[in-house]
Amino acid sequence: MIPVEYQAYEPVVTVGCVNFSPIWGDKKRTLAKIEANILEGADQGIDILVFPEGSLTGASGCDACRAEQGPCDTHLELAETIPGPATEHVAGLAADHDVYVVFGMPERDTAHPRVLYNAAAVIGPEGLIGTYRKIHLGTLPWVTEGLVFRPGDQLPVFPTRFGPIGVQICYDFWFNPELSRILALKGARLILNPCGTFAGPGKREYMVQTTSVRAQENLVYAASANLVGGPGHEDYSASALDEVRPASYLGHSVIAGPAFPRFSQVYAEGGDNEEIVSATLSFERLHRWQTVFPMRDWRRSRQLSASRLIAEELGRLADPTD
């Protein structure tokens, strides 16, 4: 049975993830590819379509940013404000085709044009809903995004007709499980992860298993949409382990979550080519777990002391003067 607070929302959602390869540095042609995928997703009956991290421009290390210790002219030129030309174009498509779209892009701060964020725009049929800015940024030696972008400072949930959803970007999702827990406790039943996960040894298993675990431990559905291919070639030999990772991405976008009485099930998985993978997910089946393991309710009642303990411990770790 669906809890009262969720009964106004649609009980079934079809989620799609795009295994996507942008045309690096060419926003016009890449936006045309994004449009083609939105149209195809809508034709397939997808309700929420997720593109990867950095979909609009491509995501890769930058020697110029490394030399300048900040965003180079190319990154500054490619970034856009939100709202801006790309989000307005996608919003028109979302309205025309009654679909929600989440896609990664470099965002320029409206007040400070040299400040950039690694962002994901969240767009619905009603228009721009909001923006998520990546909180945990990668650092040298493998990536230069920590030089290019400022970290985000909010962890919102976004309203949709399927209920509140959460968004994280790549490293936020893979290595920082406390963020997914917070989103779940704030009411998200679906967490979307636009990511740019490199190809490499064991990476397919890592993507599928971690997406499954994030969903299982929070009793939510989770979807990771990954870049695929790219202009680089991965080298994990001993002589290359301290070098910036080239732009060569795994693909294998994945949708996972509970399937009562199973705690975890992989509903869909992509391969190593461009494609859309999708799954139709039942919130009634998800909430079947509420009758035996009402995690959100427990955290506010019988496990309240544990919730406070965790918050206090994290608070002490975050305050170096304590």
- Tally of CB atoms within 10 A around 294: 16
Taking the C-alpha atoms of residue 73 and residue 2, their distance in angstroms, rounded to an integer, is 51
* Of 17, 134, 145, 195, catalytic: 134
Cβ pair 244, 141 in contact under 8 A:
yes
Cβ pair 178, 135 in contact under 8 A:
no
Cβ pair 157, 174 in contact under 8 A:
no
For residue 180, give the nearest of 127, 60, 169 by alpha carbon: 169
* Of 53, 145, 234, 269, catalytic: 53
Residue 313 has which token pair? 């411990």
Cβ pair 192, 214 in contact under 8 A:
no
Q: Is 145 a catalytic residue?
A: no
Q: Is 33 a catalytic residue?
A: no
Q: Is 313 a catalytic residue?
A: no
Cβ pair 217, 224 in contact under 8 A:
no
Question: Which positions are annotated as active-site residues?
Answer: 53, 134, 170
